[in-house]
Structure 1
Amino acid sequence: MSTLVMLVLLFSGCRSLHLPPGVQRENGTWKNSFPDTLSAETRYALLTWYLDSQNRESLDPSLLAYIHELQTQAADKSNRTLAEKLAAQTGPLVRLDASGGLRIDPTLFADNTDWNSMSDMLGKLRDALKTPLSAAPSDAEIDLLFGNESDARAFRSWLSAHPVMIPETGVLQRQELLTSLDQIQDVLALKRRLLDSKAEVNALLESGFGGKALNLLDETRKNLSANSSLALIGDTSTLADFERTRQELPEKILDS
């Protein structure tokens, strides 16, 4: 084996044992000393870059397991931070549960008929939930991590070619929350349809078009399913009021 080949192999072996910034082994135990100011997203990106740049098969299994553990912790913290941010921005629609996860409280809309405001609120939350969590380390964070400028350049170069997405953890069930938003949107659409129909019926009655008013209520009723309900948003009166109006309308027409 030539001297050049031996040097290359030796260098490769040293690189495979190189630890990511902030990770060290003390008395046989893996530990980290990441700066408190380092975001969870940057930690996740750093560890992902490290694994991508190494020959994983040559890594100490305990180190690999520790890095995966740190990645999981970073992803969980990132998801929790987003949950807290959304709860602060969209409260009282969204709150944090005991585990730090997001819960939607649709009863906020029980007595609300400001359709534009409600649509805007739901839309903003939907957009936020559909936007993937990503890592965008700042120059200050990178400078904090790397004392070696060549490693810092390598990290920046890798980031530009490999956008880092933070995986979803159990604390932020995006699809479940998006499904809840769809259900709320459907219930609000039903409530608006019922209220609009009632308003139009009253206008027809005042104009002497009792027959058209009755037909409108019947048509609206036909479009309701057997399971139509506003209970999801805590509205117990709108549907009952619609049914009462429909039952009382024939007598009102006769009396008019």
Structure 2
Amino acid sequence: MSNYLSQDFCFCILAFRAKYRNLAKELAGTLDKHSPGTTLVIGTDQPQEFQNCSNVFAFKLQQKGILHCYHDKRFVIQAALKKFPTAIQIDADTKIIADISPEIPYLEGLAAGHIENIVEHAQKYNPERLIYLQKIVDKLDLSLENVSYVGESLFAVTADSKKSEEFIKYWDFIARYLEIHGIHSGEGNAIGMAAAKAGLKVYNPSWLGKINSVRQHLDASDRKSQRTQWDILQRKLAYHYRLNKARIISLKDFDFFYS
């Protein structure tokens, strides 16, 4: 694990379980080749596995998401923004296939490769979620028509400490609300709402497009791994632990989560 941090931006990923830790090591290797000096910040259950990756800053993180870990990206972005002005979120099952030499201006906001109006996105893919999205924006004093859906596989956050803290805080609230109400995917909805509430402009810059053009997404989630009965039992127990913990925490803000 590197003791140095360089440049004004970093990449950041989640890497839980062996499959994704191995993919993260491959990503670190391709990033080192095509963008020397760029740090990869990794939230992982086994940070010691990255001690020989010179361009990696890995820290201990356990899954917080009730069913899936999709929303746990927020903790890696939070850690990355404490060390860099800009944190670029990318999926662990990604390879960099050509040189990266982006000129990234310091422009506060959320840069995204894919942006849609959140209502139009939900109507196309998950119209049953609109009632919950509407309830959230009402509680946050926002309008759905002014909120973007953000493609979660590649986006970047640039913010001062106050706005980044607000962004993470509201993402945390929104993620827990959605998960408690049985919506465990589509974190792009939460990202867009949290950005709007934190006052972060969502935009699509050319420099992020350059990064997008040199990444290869492998879609590792489609590759099913063999699970033993013990693995299945552990996952069930962990699910119910996280669900009950989220419910207890949410009682502190009963009106937001249950009214």
Fold conserved between structures, TM > 0.5: no
The structure that has the greater radius of gyration is 1
TM-score interval, normalised by the smaller of the two chains? under 0.3
Q: TM-score, normalised by structure 1?
A: 0.22
Q: Of Structure 1 and Structure 2, which has the larger fraction of its residues in helix?
A: 1
